Chains A and B, each alone.
Chain A
Amino acid sequence: MSLYLDVMTSADLTASSRLAGMLSSLWSKGSWRATMSAMSALLVAAVGTTLLGVIGVVWGAAIFSLVTGAGDWAHVAVYVAAVIVGPVAELWAVQGVTALQRSRLRTVAGTDIPAGSHTSERKPWPVGPWLSASTWRHIAFHLLSIGIGAAAGAVAVCWLAPALAIAYLIVGAPSAATTAVSCTGGVVLLLTAPWLARQVVRVDETLAKALLGPSHNEELALRLESLTKSRAAIVAATDAERRRIERDLHDGAQQRLVSLAMNLGIARARFSEVPEPVKQEIAEAHDEALMALSEVREFIRGLHPAVLNDRGLDAALSGLAARAPLPVRLKVDMSRPAAPSVEAVAYFIVSEAITNVVKHARATQAEVTVARDGDLLRITVADNGAGGAALGGTGDPDGGTGLRGLVQRAASVDGTLTIDSPPGGPTVITAELPCES
C-alpha cells in the first residue's frame, strides 16, 4: 500500500517537475543559445547554398547553352569561359562556405571542427580537390544544411507561434473552435521551441563533425603524425637526459672516485714502514676503490658514452670493439653523420648485440658493419657462434629478452631489426634505421 502511494507521489512529482522544466526552459540560457545557433545556421546555410547554387546553375546553364547551340562566337566564348571558370569558382566557394560554417560552429556553438586533411588540401588546384573525398563530404554538408536551415526556420515559427495566434485572434474573426485551436497551438508550439532548437543544434553539430571534420582515415593520419612527433621528442629527451646524467656522473662521482683511489694508491706506495695489518687495510681499500671506479666507468659507458657525443659513432664503436672480450672486426662507412638519437640507438644496438654474442653465442669472433645506404643506416652484427637465437627465447628467456630489447631500440626511431640465426650458426643481426640526410 505504502509502496503504491510512494509510486503515485513520485509519478505526480515527475509530471509536475517536467512541466516546470518545460516552462523554465523557455527562458533558460541554453535554449536561447541553441536558438541563436539555429538562427545562425539558417543564415549561413541560406547565404552559402545560394552562392553555391547560383554558381552551379550558371555552370549548368552554360553547358546547356553550348550543347543546344550557342549562337554567335561572342556567346560561345562567354559560355566556354563560364564552363571553365565554373568548377574553379565552385571549388573556391565550397572551401569558403566550409570555412564560414566552421567559424560559425566555433564562435556560436563553441564546437571546434578541426580542418584535418592537409594532404587533400595540398593536392594541386583546380582538379586535385575535386578528386578528394573531403571536398565531396563538404558539398554533402552544404546540401544537408538546406534541411537544417529549414528546421531552424521552424524553430523561429515555434517561438513566434503565440504572437501569430494573438494576431490571428485580433485580425481574424475566429469562431470558438478556431480560437481554442490557435490558443492551444500557440502554447504547444512555444513549449516545443526550446526542444526543437536543441535538436536542430544537435543534428547540425553531428553532421558538421561527420562531414566537415577529418574523416576516420584523416584522423588516424593526424594522430599518427602527432604520435610520431611526440615519440621522436621523447626519444630525444631521453637521450638528452642520459647525456646529462653521464656528464654529471663524470664531473662528480667519477672524479671523486679517481681522486680517492689515487690517494689510497699514494698511501699504499709511500707508507711502507707501517705495521703489516695497516698496509693490508690500505691495499684492500685501494683495490676496492679501483673496483668501484671501474664499475662506475662501465655504468657511465652504458648510459651514454661521451665519445659518441664528441667524436661520433665510428669512434665510439671502435672503442666498443676494442673492449670486447672476443675479436671484433669493424667496418664503418659513415659518409654523412646521422642524427644524434639515431647514432645513439645504433651504438646501443651494437653494444647489446655484442654482449649477447659474448653471453650466448659461443662464438670466437664477430664482425660489425655500419654503412649509410641512402636514408638508411644499416647495421649488421655477425658472429660465428652456435646460432639458434630467437626473439621468443623459448630455450633461454634471458637471450630472448636481450634480442627483444634490440628490436624495441630499433623501433624507437622507426627502424627494423631482423635476426637470422639457424641452428648451428652463423647468427646475423641486421638493423635498418631511417635517418634524414
Chain B
Amino acid sequence: MRIVIAEDSVLLRDGLTRLLSDGEFEVVAAVPDAEQLLKAVAEHQPDLAVIDVRMPPGFSDEGIKAALVIRRQYPDVALVVLSQYVEGSYATDLLSEATNSVGYLLKDRVAHVNDFLDAARRVAAGGTALDPEVVAQLLIRRKDDPMSRLTPREQQVLRLMAEGRSNGGIVELLKVSPSAVEKYVTNIFAKLALPPTSTDHRRVLAVLKYLGA
C-alpha cells in the first residue's frame, strides 16, 4: 500500500513514516504542508493519504480543504484525516463528498499503534474509520435524538458500526455471541427504519448517512 503523509510536526511526521514503513505499507512521500501534499498526491497517486488538519500557513483547517480537493480530483485515494479535536463540520464536510475510504481520527490515536494500522487498512480497503468521539458528536447533533429509541447496548453496537467495525469485530470487542450481535443490528435497523443490506460496507454507509442527515 503506497502512502503519502502530510504533517507539519517533524517529530510526528518521522514517527508516522516509521510506523507506516513496514510490511504491506510503503511511504512514498512525507510533506509538511497542504500545498506539497497536493503535489505529492498528483505525482505519486498513492493508495492512502494521511493528513493532519492543522497545517501551515494558517494552522486552521488546511488539511480538510486539501482532503476535499484530493477527493474530487483523485477519488481513488483513500483519506485518513488526523485532528487535534473533533469538529462535527469537518466530519460532515468529508462525509458529504463520499462516505467510502474515509477516516477521521483524533491525532492522539496514532499512539494506539495497532488500532491506527487497522483503521488505515480499513479505509484503504474502501471502508470508514471514525473516531468514537466523532460518532458521539454526530449523534448529539441529531435533532430528534434517534438514540433515545435504542437500548444502551444497541447504542453501543451502533457506535461500533459507525466506527466501521464488522460484526466479527463487534463480537470480539463486546465479548458476546455472533447471533446476539446480529439481533442487535436487526433491532437497530428496525428502530432507525433502515433497510437491512447484505454487506458490512453498505450497512456502515447507511448508518453514516443517517447520522449526517
**Chain B 139-152 against A: per-residue CB contact (8 Å), 1 yes, 0 no?**
11100010100000
- With contacts A263-B15, A319-B133 taken as known, whether A327 is within 8 angstroms of B85 at the C-beta atoms is no
CA distance A262 to B139 in the complex (A): 30
The answer for the CA separation of A323 and B145 in the assembled complex, in Å, is: 17
B177 interface residue per 8 A CB criterion: no
Contact of A262 among B86, B113, B136 (CB under 8 A): B113
In the assembled complex, which residues on chain B have CB atoms less than 8 Å from the CB atom of A251? 9
Partner pick for B87 among A266, A269, A315, A327, CB 8 A cutoff: A315
Tell me whether B108 is interfacial, beta carbon within 8 Å.
yes
Task: Give the number of chain A interface residues (Cβ < 8 Å).
Answer: 35
Cα A182 to Cα B62 with chains together (Å):
98
Also in contact, A322 and B114, with CB within 8 A (given A262-B15, A270-B22, A315-B89)? no
A-facing residues in B1-51 (Cβ within 8 Å): 9, 11-12, 14-16, 18-19, 22
Residues B147 and A258 in contact, CB atoms below 8 Å apart: no
Cβ of A294 within 8 Å of any chain B Cβ, yes or no, is: yes
Judge whether A255 and B112 touch: CB under 8 Å. no
Segment at the interface with B among A76-84, A91-99, A304-312, A399-407 = A304-312
* Contacting residues, chain A, for B111 (C-beta < 8 A): 257-258, 261-262, 265, 289-290, 293
> A311 to B136, alpha carbons, bound, how many Å?
18
Q: Is B185 interfacial (CB 8 A cutoff)? A: no
Query: Known: A259-B12, A323-B136, A327-B147. Is A265-B112 also a contact (CB below 8 A)?
Result: yes
A261 to B19, CA, bound (A): 12
Q: Specify the chain A residue showing the minimal Cβ separation from B16.
A: A262
CB–CB B85/A319 < 8 A: yes
Whether a CB of chain B sits under 8 angstroms from the CB of A231 is no
Given contacts A262-B113, A266-B18, A318-B141, contact A255 B89 (CB under 8 A): no
Q: Is the CB of A250 within 8 A of B15?
A: no
B212 within 8 A of A: no
Interface size class on chain B is 20 to 34
Contact of A329 with B12 in the complex, beta carbons under 8 Å: no
Contacts of A257 in B (CB 8 A): 111
The yes or no answer to A209 lying at the interface (CB within 8 A) is no
A310 contacts which of B12, B60, B112, B113 (Cβ < 8 Å)? Answer: B60
The listed residue (A259, A294, A330) touching B15 by CB distance below 8 A is A259
Q: A310-B60, A318-B141, A329-B145 are in contact. Are A268 and B113 (CB under 8 A)?
A: yes
- Chain A residues, Cβ within 8 Å of B15: 258-259, 262-263
The residue of chain B having its C-beta at the shortest distance from the C-beta of A330 within the complex is B140
Query: What A residues does B12 contact at CB under 8 A?
Result: 255, 258-259, 262
The answer, among B18, B114, B133, for a CB contact under 8 Å with A323, is B133
| B137 in complex: contacting residue of A256, A305, A322, A329, CB < 8 Å | A322
Q: How far is the CA of A286 from the CA of B60 in the complex (A)?
A: 30
- Please give the distance in Å from A307's CB to the nearest CB on chain B: 4
What A residues does B139 contact at CB under 8 A? 322
Which residues of A are found within 8 Å of B107, using beta-carbon distances?
A: 258
CA distance A297 to B14 in the complex (A): 21
Residues on A with beta carbons closer than 8 Å to the beta carbon of B137: 318-319, 321-322
Q: Are A311 and B113 in contact (CB under 8 A)?
A: no
Instruction: List which A238-293 residues lie within 8 A (CB) of chain B.
Output: 250-251, 255-259, 261-263, 265-266, 268-270, 289-290, 293
Enumerate 5 A-B pairs (CB-CB under 8 Å) in ascending A order. A255-B12, A262-B113, A307-B84, A311-B87, A330-B140
Interface residues of B (CB under 8 A from A): 9, 11-12, 14-16, 18-19, 22, 60-61, 84-89, 107-108, 110-114, 117, 133, 136-137, 139-141, 145, 147
**Known contacts A265-B112, A322-B137, A330-B140; can you find 4 more A-B pairs with CB under 8 A?**
A251-B9, A270-B22, A323-B136, A328-B140
